[in-house]
Amino acid sequence: MARNLRDLTVLVLSSMLLLSFLVPAVETMAENGSNLTAVWANDGGDKVTRDELRASSNPGDVVNRVWDGTKVALFGAKNEVVAFNLILEASSREATNITVSFNDLLGPNGASISASATSGDGVFDWTSRAIELFYVRYLQIKGLSELSYEFYDERHIPKRLRRPWTGEGEGAGTWLDRPDHDNFYPEIAVPLELVTSFDIAADQNQSIWVDIYIPKDIQTGLYSGAVTVSENGTVTYQIPVELTVRDFTLPDVPNAKTMVYLGYEDINVRYLDEQDPETGTENASASKLIRDRHFLLAHRHRLSLIEWYEQETGWQWELDQPRAEYIPRLDGSLFTAAHGYDGPGVNTAENVYSIGTYSNWGWQDEGEAGMRLHTNAWVDWFESNSPETEYFLYLIDESEDFDRTEQWSSWINNNPGSGSSLMSMATLSLPDAAANTPSLDIPTSWDTIGITEDWQSAADTYIADPDKRLFLYNSK
Domain ranges of the chain: 16-141+183-249, 260-473
Given CATH 3.30.519, say whether it is the number of domain 260-473: no
* Residue of 248, 413, 384 lying closest to 321 (CA atoms): 384
pLDDT of residue 2: 37
pLDDT of residue 17: 26
pLDDT of residue 98: 98
Q: What would the pLDDT profile of 34-62 be if each residue is shown by its tens digit?
A: 999 999 999 999 999 999 999 999 999 99
Sheet holding 390-397, edge to edge: 352-355, 390-397, 423-427, 442-446, 471-473
Strands 131-140 and 204-214: antiparallel
- Ranges under pLDDT 70 in the chain: 1-32, 147-151, 309-317, 475-476
pLDDT of residue 343: 96
First to last CA, the chain: 18
Helix H or strand E encompassing 413: helix 402-413
Residue 408: CA atoms inside 13 Å, Cβ hemisphere, count? 24
Q: How far apart are CA 161 and CA 148, in angstroms?
A: 14
CATH architecture, domain 16-141+183-249:
Sandwich (2.60)
Coil vs helix vs strand at 252: coil
Q: How far apart are CA 16 and CA 107, in angstroms?
A: 10
pLDDT of residue 158: 86
pLDDT of residue 290: 95
**Residues 6 or more apart whose Cβ sits within 8 Å of residue 169:** 153, 154, 155, 156
Strands 471-473 and 442-446: parallel
* Residue of 332, 323, 331, 384 lying closest to 354 (CA atoms): 323
pLDDT of residue 206: 98
pLDDT of residue 145: 81
Q: How far apart are CA 393 and CA 87, in angstroms?
A: 45
